[in-house]
Amino acid sequence: MDRSDGHFRAMARLLPADVPAVWHPVDDALIAGPEGLLRDPRELFTPDVVTQLDAVLGFEGTLSRCRDQLVHTPLVVNLTASTLMGDHTRKVTVMSIADALRLGATAVACHLNFSAPGENEMIQHFGSVVAEARRFGMPVVAITYPRGVRGDGSDENYFGLRAADPDGFGRKVAHAVRVTAELGASVIKTVYTGTAESFQRVVDGACGVPVLIAGEEYDRTPEVLYRAETAVEVGARGVAFGRQIFERKDPASFLYELRDRLRIAYAKCCSGAAHSPTT
């Protein structure tokens, strides 16, 4: 991992020292189309939302359009893309680190789908991005999922396996996470595995690289907060929630509650009380 002063300072901006991080990915506008408050992201990034975010992850279009609102918010520029209209599991390069620096990025991100047909190419590209980013002291975020392709061409996210066998799913996620940790990821965004025990394997396997959980499909139930709390209690460094924020009518209220719940979970993690035999 990069040990330069630039990398250290950038990581300090992205991950606050004493509270779990809350990142807001808005890259779904490219992937799935302009849904929810992403129809016009300028309506999303109100002061009461922006002040609760530690970073925003996205592509040039949204980040440039909202630059006045996000002038004090760390930006993570996604260098890779695909859409649901095409070969969604095969991420291709759409920007360079130089482009991201021009936008004022604090970090860059690359998406890797493991067990997808283009896995080897995505691994190769990620390694080259890490090597180049190291020259600038820039953190590289790995968006890391086990995601293949079913016989009918649809995505295989292995969520059936998660429901039936969280430990088996956890091993898949842990392997995918470990690959990007080995290649020099600074932060890893991945999917929750279903149980505290199975996600503990993921955190341990990351070898100290901070792990954030994705929000997945929009969920109105308390389950999304439970997943976030449980992940942080076993060592996740925070959340990277997209749809859980931009599809809500009142994202600010949700963020207030999320942050409160994450602070309590983080205190349990730091005290060693979370999921111990005595709790």
Inter-residue contact 88 to 55 (CB < 8 Å):
no
114: amino acid identity, one letter = F
User: How far apart (Å, rounded) are the C-alpha atoms in residues 264 and 278?
Assistant: 18
Residues whose CB is less than 8 angstroms from the CB of residue 119 and which lie 6 or more positions away in sequence, other chains included: 112, 113
126: amino acid identity, one letter = F
User: How far apart (Å, rounded) are the C-alpha atoms in residues 213 and 6?
Assistant: 25
Instruction: Say what the alpha-carbon torsion angle 110, 114, 116, 120 is, to the nearest 10 degrees.
Output: 70
User: How far apart (Å, rounded) are the C-alpha atoms in residues 159 and 168?
Assistant: 11
223, two tokens: 């389950």
User: What are the contacts of 124-131 at 24+ separation with CB within 8 A?
Assistant: 125/80, 125/93, 126/180, 126/183, 126/185, 127/183, 127/184, 129/79, 129/97, 130/183, 130/184, 130/185, 131/184
Residues whose CB is less than 8 angstroms from the CB of residue 46 and which lie 6 or more positions away in sequence, other chains included: 252
What is the residue whose two structure tokens read 């279009």? 61
Active-site positions read 27, 145, 189
